[in-house]
Amino acid sequence: MIKRSLIFFFLLSATSLAVLAQDKDSVKLVNADWKKTVISSNVSLKVAHFTAHDLFNANENISYLELTPKKHQWGFDLGYDRKLLKTTADFALEKNAIAAVNGSFFDVKNGGSVDFLKYGDTIIAENRLEKNGIRARHQRSAITIHNGKLKLEQWNGKSTWEKSLNAEHILLSGPMLSFKGKTQGLDTTSFTTLRHPRTAVGIKKDGKIILLTVDGRNEQSAGMSLHELNKIMRWLDCLTAINLDGGGSTTLWVEGAGDNGVINFPSDNKLWDHAGQRKVANVLLITKKP
């Protein structure tokens, strides 16, 4: 009886400590000294740098755009190239965007998306399935854009799912972190559990949309696991959130800001500066309406 009581006590203590740590991290995030900049009508940029190993016991640099999809002068769009790889900034400038984040996964050697991408009536890229013929983790969720409005969709298990989605533009990515308030199951691979730079899109309870980057691979910012990234998105009140390509690809760009518009610290050059953009195959854009 005493042995059982001790086991129960230690389990309860461990659980309580985990909850306290999570509460500490969530309070730290919400109460951080966020530097806010108004980018456009109903578009704001928020940046916070945690430098005392006080978020998930690490230094972290987080930047995000918060967009209110009401009456506005902007809309969402995709930038892409079938073969050429370009920086997020280059894609944004080509379409006269006001802001952009890097998009989904791509072929680093040969260019082009490895995930389904449809633009208008044209299929730009099909899914490149895993060797066993199943979908990759980043082919089970989608960003859809119709009339400039963004939605996040989850795979229904059917092979023709993405082609049945009713939207002008479709970009698959993933994994889905949360969907309609429910945390989604994440695998135990190093992609999920290790800390990397991350890019995510989320939709809040009030309908606002968040485009977020977490820097990493540097003593100034450790990066996050997908579990930590999911917590961040939930603490920012996102009911639904999707992971995009990360690592050296992670980039947040804003027209006229800072060094060539790059807000975060892309890690592809292994330096803590704004010059390390990786060339990518596709991006998510915020563009001015005609």
pLDDT digits (tens, 9 = 90+) for 115-161: 999 999 999 999 999 999 999 999 999 999 999 999 999 999 999 99
Mean pLDDT, residues 63-84: 93
207 pLDDT more than 60: yes
Give the confidence band of 12 by pLDDT, cuts at 50, 70, 90: very low
What pLDDT is attached to residue 144?
A: 99
- Is the Cβ–Cβ distance between 213 and 245 less than 8 Å? no
pLDDT of residue 15: 46
User: pTM, whole model, 2 decimals?
Assistant: 0.92
Q: Which of 10-24, 91-105, 169-183, 268-282 bottoms out in mean pLDDT, i.e. has the lowest?
A: 10-24
Q: Identify the band that residue 69 occupies on the pLDDT scale cut at 50, 70 and 90.
A: confident
Amino acid at 270: K
Whether the predicted pLDDT of 83 surpasses 50: yes
pLDDT confidence tier of residue 41, bands split at 50, 70 and 90: confident
Q: What is the pLDDT of residues 209-249, one digit of tens each?
A: 999 999 999 999 999 999 999 999 999 999 999 999 999 99
pLDDT score of 6? 46
